[in-house]
Structures are given as C-alpha cells and as structure tokens.
Amino acid sequence: MDLFDEIAAKVKGQDKTIVFPEGADKRILGAAVRLQNDGLVEPILLGTKDEIEATAKENNFDITGLKIIDPATYPEADKKAMFDALLERRKGKNTPEQVEKMLEDVSYFGTMLVYMGKADGMVSGAVHSTGSTVRPALQIIKTKPNAHRISGAFLMQKGDQRYIFADCAINIELDADTMAEVAVQSAETAKIFGIDPKVALLSFSTKGSAKGDMVTKVAEATEKVHEMEPDLPADGEMQFDAAVVPSVGELKAPGSKVAGHANVFIFPSLEAGNIGYKIAQRFGGFTAVGPILQGLNAPIADLSRGCSEDDAYKVAIITAAQAL
C-alpha cells in the first residue's frame, strides 16, 4: 500500500476537521474538495463566500457541502467568545485593541478555531509566510508540556524508502538540549508514517573521529536522548555515511544499534538540515513532504508558498493523522 494510502486509511472515518485560512487560493480549494470527496477530513475554509465561489467557478470545482467561514461575518456571540479566549490567552501581553486587530488576521482566526476545539488542526502557508503561520501557533497553541521549542521535519520518500529529516525549517541554531528534543519529536513523527525509528544524530565526526565544540554538542545531545527515552534506538555523533551504509557503520561505529540502518536523521543546524533535504530532493529524487511542525499542543502545518494542490492535500492528511 502506498504511504499516503496507509495514512489516509488511518484518518478516514475519524471525522477530523482541518481549517484552511487561505480558502480562496485555488490550490487550497482544490485540495479541500478532494479531501471532502475522499471522505478523509472535514475542511473548513476561511474567506469570503464570493471569493471562494469565484475561485471554484474559474477552476470547475464543485464546493457543495464545503464549510466556509468568513471571519468578518462570524456570529457575534462566537466572535465574542473567541475574543475573550484570546484576550485571556494573551493576558498581560496584548491589549483588547490589539487582540481585536489580531482576530482580523485569518492565521490568528484559524489558530483560535483549533485552540477552542472547533477544528482539530490547521494547514496554512500557501499564501502566508512561515512566520505568519508559526507565530500564532506559538502564542496560542503553545508547545507540549515536555517541549521547549517546536521543530520542522520533512518526510523524505522514494519508492519504498521513507526517512525523516529534522530540523530543516525552524531552529537556526540548535544547542544540545534542543537537538535532543528534536530527536525525540522526530521519532514520534516517524511512527505516523509506519517507520520504526532508528535515530542518527549527525555530525562531521563519528564517535570522536574529529574534535570541536560542534562535535561535543552532538555527543551531549545523544546522551540527553538516552536520558529522555532510554528505549529509543538513537546514536551519535555520526557521519551520514556511517548512519546509512552498513559496512561503513560497522567500521566507524562497531556495535551501534543505529549505524548503517538509520531512518531518522537529526541535523546539527538548520543550514545543514535545509541543505541536506534539498540535496536528497533534487539530486536523489526523493519527494520531500513538509515541513511537519513538531512539539505543538495541536497540529499546525506550514506549507511552502510554492506548494501544489497535491502538497496541500497530503499535508492535510498528515495533519489529521497527527490529531489522532
């Protein structure tokens, strides 16, 4: 079974509701129509009815039955409840006037629907920047109790091969604590895709073959992962070839449960992770799905502004799976 067929089978019939703040975008609208027709999620589109209907007409989309919410005409009682909830959430940080202005932003409005339990997750970013999607999520949804930061993972897929790369999207600099958190978060993400996680914390050194602060950081992060999740197969510091090639892994890290067989790769910096996944995508022929935001109290997904309809469709399925 194809990967997304597997995930779709998990979410089908679960009645998960996903809000799309960019409802008038043709890629988002097309994805929402497919998701509804396939019975995978219940989409909520934000935007004016006229704009969404115009997009549907231009692209021959049948939007019968799709739920559309125009924030400007949201029922007053519901708007008041949302205002009160956001004001309380931002107590001491934003004035009532600022909160009122925030709710005019579809990203904040959509995030509040998730926070208030009116949606199970949100998919945004086709039109808005990463900051516009992530900022409301951090301010309102916030991180899980055991998380101090969020991170961004990519599912890398080619044929039967499935890997998780992180952090490739959020944290510019990772200290040992953050790298360890990303490793644990990424192992949980791997399970969504049917991957039995074997985590490699990457470096330009394997088991002390080079020295330096960057190497020490990865070794310390590995120790912290073992403290946090003693049963999780994780190892580092490790070069990429030692992580994926059994003969090299045996040579450079003999006795390791991960070396040569890793399927979750934790990069020591954002630049390394971002460059790494793009090389795998462009030279290696892997499909990169993400970024998948990790560590939040509820699933929020950030699309690339260059995304396709199919990207939005797949990310929505993943977001629904995160909500299970």
**Closest by CA position to 168, among listed 281, 259, 311:** 281
**Closest by CA position to 201, among listed 236, 233, 167:** 236
**Counting Cβ atoms within 10 Å, is residue 249 exposed (0-12), middle (13-18) or buried (19+)?**
buried
For residues 299 and 301, give the distance between their C-alpha atoms in angstroms, rounded to a whole number.
7
For residues 245 and 145, give the distance between their C-alpha atoms in angstroms, rounded to a whole number.
36
**Closest by CA position to 21, among listed 117, 129, 126:** 126
Model pTM score: 0.85
For each of the chain's 324 residues, which pLDDT tens digit applies? 578 888 999 999 999 999 999 999 999 999 999 999 999 999 999 999 999 999 999 999 999 999 999 999 999 999 999 999 999 999 989 999 999 999 999 999 999 999 999 999 999 988 988 888 889 999 999 998 888 889 999 999 998 899 999 999 889 889 999 999 999 999 999 998 889 999 999 999 999 889 999 999 999 999 999 999 999 999 999 999 999 999 999 999 999 999 999 999 999 999 999 999 999 999 999 988 888 899 999 999 988 788 889 989 999 999 999 998
The greatest distance separating any two alpha carbons of the chain, rounded to the nearest whole angstrom, comes to 67
**Strand stretches in the chain, DSSP E:** 17-20, 42-46, 67-69, 121-124, 151-158, 161-166, 199-202, 234-238, 264-266, 287-294, 300-302
Question: In the block, which residue shows the tokens 């969020």?
Answer: 150
